[in-house]
């Protein structure tokens, strides 16, 4: 087996977005494209020689081929050992768990998360550091600059490694350990949650439905929910991971998890429904004919955390991404714990978690997680909810209604305009940014603007600064609208509009969110000229 140095030329478009580099599979399949990015990762890491890395992905099309390339490149770059999930599978939170548990140097996660999969769809790759979390911008930018000057990469001349069985193999002086993708993660879940109580709940008349959306969480749900917690097999849907996610869009929301939503809104609906995304880091929580917004979910988990063994000692603090509703802020204030607002993307929570400033984190985009790993964690959120239901004996709806009665309700909705023309979307954002100074203090409809800015974040731990993280228009009554462009898409642009209004009066807390937010929705279009710039009459996804 010899190590080769392959001459190459830089690709100009390898800047990681919100969560790694995401492109069409065909882009990654171009000669040298994946290799260049992987070499750029290796070149940006000091002291990689002899170290242990974790590699795994969500099982989508191209996952296996990419892993074989990465293994050969790692060997040629002097990596000491690789832990790789059997069949190349590791959910994103499981990868984070393994990096942490075995004190690895870092890991490479292959996923485009909730984006569709298959030869004509999407692929993604990202680097996670020793804390188990997505590399901070300092590192992703270093990888990007390296990718712009790369002129060769190293790869071992060798055949494929058999990833179908756990065990150790040698590859050009590097050890490849194929590990069970579920074991370590399931063990961690058992440490955090009261499995006995959840088991008792699931073995009574309580019924649940979990939708793995043909993606990576299938095997995890089977092991944890069925084998360890005794839920009947019929509780699970779509648990066999498929390379194209059965042609679906594994995004657990009201639009793309329609089948599950219909089950939960039927007359004979189960008590609890949940779904996860392509790589297992997102979650959607449903009760019987009831949808929990991810922002409310974070607030409810924060308020009730001490009922769960892993958080019985209380929380150090909570963090949410900027567009996430301010529901968690109210709980934090009541508990007397800190609350942080960060830019979109889990990488911004890493420093706060590492420094022990926060215990729980959440994003409005169906992401919730805690200090147990450094990624958001879909099944963790499901187990957290099940644990709360088991301890309180309440239904999902009751738990949320009681929460609103105590803290007030933050009506919340996100409107996505997917795959719109890039130029129009950028013009919209540009025009909005220009209008910000004149909006200060103005009245818009019945609202008075309290602030209008482009979110800038200074990390309280390392003082790094991230600019232009989304336009916020906040009103004196606490309502807000936020506008930003997605950083995970692979074609055109996606405009995200986030709307929020606070309601303290318990009699007014049970309206439909779209109705309660109708005024703000109209205003958002007026302020940003959404229809004019996007040419769309309505959003493609409303959550």
Give the residue numbers marked as catalytic.
113
Q: What angle do CA 80, 135, 218 make, to 5 degrees?
A: 80
Q: How far apart are CA 468 and CA 471, in angstroms?
A: 8
Could you say which of Co ion, ligand VG1, none residue 488 binds, taking C-beta under 5 to 8 angstroms by partner kind? ligand VG1
Applying CB under 5 A, does 122 fall inside the site for Co ion? no
Applying CB under 5 A, does 329 fall inside the site for Co ion? no
Q: Where are the beta strands (DSSP E) in 190-336?
A: 208-211, 236-237, 272-276, 283-287, 290-292, 317-321
Stretch that binds Co ion, among 105-113, 341-349, 487-495, 496-504 (CB under 5 A): 105-113
Q: Binder to ligand VG1 among 85, 181, 287, 367 (CB under 6 A)?
A: 367
How many residues interact with ligand VG1 (rule CB under 6 A)? 18
> Nearest residue to ligand VG1, using CB?
113
Strand partners, 83: 54, 177
Q: Binder to Co ion among 113, 297, 324, 365 (CB under 5 A)?
A: 113
Element (H, E) at 175: strand 174-179
Stretch that binds ligand VG1, among 210-218, 343-351, 466-474, 504-512 (CB under 6 A): 343-351
Please tell me what DSSP assigns to residue 227: I
Nearest to 373 by CA among 344, 353, 356: 353
Min dist. Cβ of residue 26 to ligand VG1 (A): 20
Q: Binder to ligand VG1 among 140, 217, 486, 534 (CB under 6 A)?
A: 486
Q: How far apart are CA 366 and CA 361, in angstroms?
A: 11
Applying CB under 6 A, does 496 fall inside the site for ligand VG1? yes
Q: Which is nearer to ligand VG1, 88 or 345 (CB)?
A: 345
Stretch that binds Co ion, among 66-74, 81-89, 111-119, 165-173 (CB under 5 A): 111-119
The 294-333 contact track toward ligand VG1, x by CB under 6 A, reads ---------------------------x------------
Q: What angle do CA 458, 20, 427 make, to 5 degrees?
A: 70
Element (H, E) at 84: strand 81-89
Which pair of tokens denotes residue 274? 């949940």
The 97-116 contact track toward ligand VG1, x by CB under 6 A, reads ----------------xx--
Applying CB under 5 A, does 223 fall inside the site for Co ion? no
Applying CB under 5 A, does 211 fall inside the site for Co ion? no
Could you say which of Co ion, ligand VG1, none residue 230 binds, taking C-beta under 5 to 8 angstroms by partner kind? none
Applying CB under 5 A, does 253 fall inside the site for Co ion? no
Burial 64-79 (b: 16+ CB within 10 A, else e): bbbbeebbbbbbbbbb
Q: How far apart are CA 364 and CA 253, in angstroms?
A: 11
Nearest to 292 by CA among 374, 201, 395, 213: 395
Applying CB under 6 A, does 488 fall inside the site for ligand VG1? yes
Cβ-proximal residues to 205 (8 Å cutoff; 6+ apart), any chain: none
CB of 93 closer than 8 Å to CB of 377: yes
Applying CB under 6 A, does 351 fall inside the site for ligand VG1? no
Could you say which of Co ion, ligand VG1, none residue 342 binds, taking C-beta under 5 to 8 angstroms by partner kind? none
Nearest to 280 by CA among 253, 260, 250: 250
User: For binding to ligand VG1 (CB under 6 A), which residues are involved?
Assistant: 18-19, 113-114, 277, 281-282, 321, 344-346, 363, 365, 367, 486-488, 496
């Amino acid at each position: 087996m010899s190590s080769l140095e392959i001459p190459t030329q830089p690709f100009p478009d390898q800047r990681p977005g919100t969560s790694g580099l995401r492109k069409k599979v065909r882009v990654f399949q171009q000669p040298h494209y994946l290799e260049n990015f992987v070499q750029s990762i290796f070149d940006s890491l000091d002291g990689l020689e002899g170290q242990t890395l974790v590699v795994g992905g969500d099982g989508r099309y191209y996952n296996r081929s990419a892993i074989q390339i990465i293994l050969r490149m790692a060997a040629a770059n002097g990596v000491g050992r690789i832990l790789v999930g059997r069949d190349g599978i590791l959910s994103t939170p499981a990868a984070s768990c393994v990096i942490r548990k075995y004190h690895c140097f870092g890991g490479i996660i292959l996923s485009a998360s909730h984006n569709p999969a298959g030869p004509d769809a999407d692929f993604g790759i990202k680097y996670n550091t020793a804390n188990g979390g997505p590399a901070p911008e300092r590192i992703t930018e270093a990888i990007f600059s390296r990718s712009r000057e790369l002129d060769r990469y190293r790869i071992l001349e060798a055949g494929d490694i058999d990833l179908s069985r756990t065990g150790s193999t040698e590859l050009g002086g590097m050890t490849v350990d194929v590990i069970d993708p579920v074991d370590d993660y399931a063990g961690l879940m058992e440490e955090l949650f009261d499995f006995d109580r959840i088991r008792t709940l699931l073995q009574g008349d309580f019924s649940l439905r979990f939708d793995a959306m043909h993606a990576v969480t299938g095997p995890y749900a089977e092991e944890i929910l069925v084998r360890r917690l005794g839920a009947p097999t019929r509780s699970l849907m779509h648990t066999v991971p498929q390379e194209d996610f059965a042609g679906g869009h594994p995004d657990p929301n009201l639009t793309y998890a329609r089948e599950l939503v219909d089950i939960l809104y039927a007359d004979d609906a189960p008590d609890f429904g949940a779904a996860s995304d392509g790589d297992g880091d997102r979650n959607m929580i449903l009760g019987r004919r009831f949808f929990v917004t991810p922002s409310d979910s974070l607030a409810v988990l924060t308020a009730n955390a001490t009922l769960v063994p892993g958080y019985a000692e209380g929380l150090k603090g909570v963090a949410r991404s900027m567009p996430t509703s301010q529901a968690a802020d109210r709980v934090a204030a009541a508990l007397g714990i800190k609350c942080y607002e960060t830019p979109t993307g889990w990488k911004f929570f890493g420093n706060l978690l590492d420094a022990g400033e926060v215990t729980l984190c959440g994003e409005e985009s169906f992401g919730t997680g805690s200090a147990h790993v450094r990624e958001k964690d879909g099944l963790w959120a499901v187990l957290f909810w099940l644990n709360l239901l088991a301890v309180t004996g309440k239904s999902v709806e009751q738990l949320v209604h009681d929460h609103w009665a105590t803290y007030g309700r933050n009506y919340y909705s996100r409107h996505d305009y997917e795959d719109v023309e890039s130029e129009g979307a950028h013009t919209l954002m540009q025009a909005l940014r220009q209008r910000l100074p004149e909006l200060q203090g103005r009245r818009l409809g019945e609202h008075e603007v309290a602030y209008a800015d482009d979110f800038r974040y200074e990390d309280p731990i390392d003082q790094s600064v991230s600019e232009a993280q989304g336009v916020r228009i906040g009103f004196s009554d606490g309502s807000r609208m936020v506008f930003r462009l997605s950083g995970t898409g692979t074609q055109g642009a996606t405009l995200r509009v986030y709307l929020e209004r606070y309601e303290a009066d318990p009699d007014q807390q049970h309206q439909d969110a779209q109705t309660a937010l109708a005024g703000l929705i109209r205003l958002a279009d007026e302020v940003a000229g959404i229809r004019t710039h996007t040419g769309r009459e309505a959003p493609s996804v409303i959550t």
